[in-house]
Amino acid sequence: MLIRRKRGWEIPESRATPEAVFLNRREILAAAGGLGLATALPRFAHAEEDPSAGLYPAQRNPRYTIERDVTPEKINAHYNNFYEYSTDKDLADAAQALKVRPWTIQFSGLVEAEKTVDIDDLLKAMKLEERVYRHRCVEAWSMTVPWTGFPLADLVAYAKPLGSAKYIQMETFLDPAMAPGQNQPFYPWPYIEGLTMAEANNELAFMVTGAYGKPLLKQMGAPIRLHTPWKYGFKSIKSIVRVSFVEERPINFWQQLQSSEYGFWANVNPDVPHPRWSQASETVIGTRERIPTRIYNGYGEFVAGLYKGLESEPLFM
């Protein structure tokens, strides 16, 4: 990315949460809630104020669990990319300025009827589940995250696009008063991303509204973001306010900024280097282990078929 390349993954061991503590947190919270003890437990900024908190934790879908250890929440919560708030990785404090209620999502473009839905009404209309996904950034680091949300395919069905729609385009909010990074004119705000309709309807494409058994933290893109685990993380747009269905291929935020380095497809491939660094391996955030990167981030069996006949496209940038 066009960033100050800080070796931010070098988090001191002292900041890591022992795995067992973190994995038991849901059960502890559930038990402590009944005893009125929740305030004695570690808090993660403002999640408790979220009106959707009662919907979490959702049941884990065993189809989407993986062999890697989950990245501790405390580490994930202080290692984020959210340029609306900062180009530094530890932007948790800055992101608290994000106001997540009221929040609406507008459906526009090639749809049967344009409409706007309140996030809490949308959450009621969707069936939430938990999925543990690999999360691989183009900057060659990775995490493993227990996201909660619903398939993007369900959102597409809810929006009722016309048959002429070829792509889905998503947009982050635009509000420089709430997001200081948006005062930086160098970047093409608002952040936008897009997928083909076939990608959007692939079973892996996931609308994320929570993580670690509770509503999404602000720094992770509350109240609703995308996660496409077979693609580099920049496709996984945060804090979405508009979903449009279009005929023309969207030009995403990073592509607008530097099309020689970032493209539309952005599928993970260890054999196709970024122009400025190798993609052959990745640093695991939290352990600093260096592990080999896998084609489609290990999800080839789910997604490789999407790209048959598209071999002439730059599928891996």
Residues that bind ligand MTE (CB under 6 A): 1, 80-84, 135, 137, 172, 191, 220, 233-234, 236-239
Distances (CA, A) of 309 to 116, 126, 166: 36, 34, 16
CB of 224 to ligand MTE, least distance (A): 11
Among residues 162 and 188, whose Cβ is nearest to ligand MTE? 188
CA dist., res. 302 & res. 161, Å (int): 24
Q: What six digits make up the tokens of 86? A: 């900062």
Residue closer to ligand MTE, measured from CB, 122 or 266 = 266
Closer by beta carbon to ligand MTE, 1 or else 243: 1
Q: What is the smallest separation between the CB atom of 261 and ligand MTE, expressed in angstroms?
A: 12
The DSSP result for 186-221, as a single string, is TS-SSPEEEEEHHHHTSTT-EEEEEETTEEPPGGGT
Planar angle of CA 311, 312, 313, nearest 5 degrees: 90
The residue of the chain with the least Cβ separation from ligand MTE equals 233
Shortest approach of ligand MTE to residue 310 CB, angstroms?
A: 23
Name the minimum Å distance from CB 147 to ligand MTE. Answer: 9
**Minimum CB–partner distance for residue 260 and ligand MTE (Å):** 17
Name the residue nearer to ligand MTE (CB basis): 84 or 282.
84
User: Are the C-beta atoms of 292 and 281 separated by less than 8 Å?
Assistant: yes
DSSP string, 45-113: TTGGG-TTGGG-SPPB-GGG--SSPPPPHHHHTTS--BTTTBSSS--HHHHTT---SS-EEEEEESBSS
Give the residue with the Cβ less far from ligand MTE, 156 or 217.
Answer: 217
